[in-house]
């Protein structure tokens, strides 16, 4: 409840500002917005709400048509398409683009890292959004957040594959996960991570091509039908404490808008992010009983295993910082936030949110030695 209250306060102010902007004598604008999500994956919530807000605030003069993954092109083709202006916008999860620059991996999620309120605080009070827009700007785009999920569900495995209770249980299992950080960590413990679009998971598990998968928070996983194809649900989701979602915007198209329309798009995204985040939180709570009723068995990963995985996450981010200057900057920015916020987080205890990763101090020390600004 505290998380949602905070979001409501912050975003309601921006929504009022947005509705106060008057779109004066503008010609009708029609944009196309692609998405990495299929109609069965309701991570498009922020996309759809933003489109409604923009249309309402412009009296229908700024019309954005949404295209799900597979309608115009495949999910992973939208980055280049938006960069080149084939579509003016594209809803995404930034970690998909880590092959462009490893720094993108930090913008979607990171093992043992940010929860959804951490993302909001970092983006709007610690300069995170500016860094995100700078990174996307290298590819001819700008970027706006459209919400963040709570902790994701974690790995779900088929009955034949068995549950994941210890690190040893990962060994040999073919599990779908897209994050480079998670893939590397799983490889270190003997897992067999597989990268594939979310829309392909159901059939892959059903046909036995993979042993299990992770995708998103419980409400999203429920809508994707995972209760029908998996038996075990391993928690907590150490590798994605949150997933930050947003939209890429072609920079030339954005700069062609009037100042009024730019403001409407910007604050429409902020207001939509509030509603989408609330939806992801609420739907997570509602979905748990549904999974249990379908026969899903929830199992907990051992504490010793979590400590080992957290240590590996710290090793991975320092390794990547040596490969990408922007990754190093992004890493330091997030670690500085976590270090500065940790005292208040500890004081708040059970009445606060999130956690401070054990690797923060060590990572900051190493980044200082590397001279990262």
Tell me the pLDDT tens digit for each residue of 155-187.
999 999 999 999 999 999 999 998 999 999 999
Token readout for 141 is 């785009």
User: What is the band of 22 on the pLDDT scale with cuts at 50, 70, 90?
Assistant: very low
Give me the residue spans of the domains in the chain. 2-150+242-285
Architecture of 2-150+242-285 per CATH?
3-Layer(aba) Sandwich (3.40)
Check whether 338 has a pLDDT greater than 70. yes
Determine whether 172 is exposed, middle or buried from the number of CB atoms within 10 Å of its CB (0-12, 13-18, 19+): exposed
* pTM for this entry: 0.90
Two tokens, residue 211: 């042993």
pLDDT (0 to 100) of residue 198: 87
Dist CA 317 CA 332 (whole Å)? 10
Cis peptide leading into residue 346 (ω within 30°): no
Residue 196 has pLDDT above 70, yes or no: yes
Query: Distance between CA 10 and CA 120 in Å, rounded?
Result: 10
Decide if pLDDT at 21 tops 60. no
pLDDT of residue 234: 97
Q: How many angstroms separate the Cα of 271 from the Cα of each of 36, 131, 287, 354, 363?
A: 21, 21, 25, 23, 34
In the predicted model, what is the mean pLDDT of residues 122-131? 97
């Amino acid at each position: 409840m505290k998380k949602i209250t905070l979001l409501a306060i912050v975003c309601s102010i921006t929504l009022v500002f947005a509705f106060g902007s008057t779109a004066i004598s503008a010609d009708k604008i029609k944009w196309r917005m692609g998405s990495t999500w299929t109609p069965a994956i309701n991570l498009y919530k922020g996309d759809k709400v933003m489109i409604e807000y923009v249309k309402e605030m412009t009296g229908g003069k700024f019309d954005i048509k949404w295209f799900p993954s597979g309608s115009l092109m495949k999910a992973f083709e939208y980055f280049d398409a938006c960069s080149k202006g084939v579509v003016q916008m594209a809803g995404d999860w930034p970690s998909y683009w880590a092959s462009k620059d490893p720094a993108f991996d930090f913008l979607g999620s990171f093992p043992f890292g940010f929860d959804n309120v951490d993302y909001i605080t970092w983006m709007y009070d610690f300069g995170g959004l500016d860094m995100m827009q700078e990174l996307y700007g290298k590819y001819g785009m700008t970027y706006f957040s459209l919400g963040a999920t709570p902790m994701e569900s974690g790995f779900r495995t088929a009955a034949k594959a068995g549950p994941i209770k210890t690190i040893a249980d990962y060994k040999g299992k073919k599990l779908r996960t897209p994050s480079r950080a998670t893939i590397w960590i799983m490889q270190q413990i003997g897992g067999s991570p597989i990268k594939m679009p979310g829309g392909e998971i159901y059939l892959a598990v059903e046909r036995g091509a993979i042993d299990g998968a992770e995708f998103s928070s419980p409400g999203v996983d429920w809508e994707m039908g995972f209760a029908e194809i998996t038996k075990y649900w391993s928690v907590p989701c150490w590798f994605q404490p949150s997933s930050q979602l947003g939209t890429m915007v072609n920079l030339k198209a954005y700069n062609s808008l009037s100042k009024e329309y730019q403001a409407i798009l910007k604050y429409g995204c902020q207001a939509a992010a509030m509603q989408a985040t609330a939806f992801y939180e609420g739907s997570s709570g509602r979905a748990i009983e549904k999974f249990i009723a379908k026969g899903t068995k929830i199992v907990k990963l051992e504490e010793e295993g979590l400590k080992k995985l957290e240590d590996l996450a710290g090793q991975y981010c320092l390794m990547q910082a040596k490969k990408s200057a922007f990754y190093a900057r992004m890493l330091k920015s997030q670690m500085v936030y976590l270090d500065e916020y940790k005292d208040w987080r500890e004081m708040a205890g059970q009445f606060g949110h999130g956690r401070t990763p054990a690797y923060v101090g060590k990572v900051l020390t190493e980044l200082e030695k590397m001279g990262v600004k």
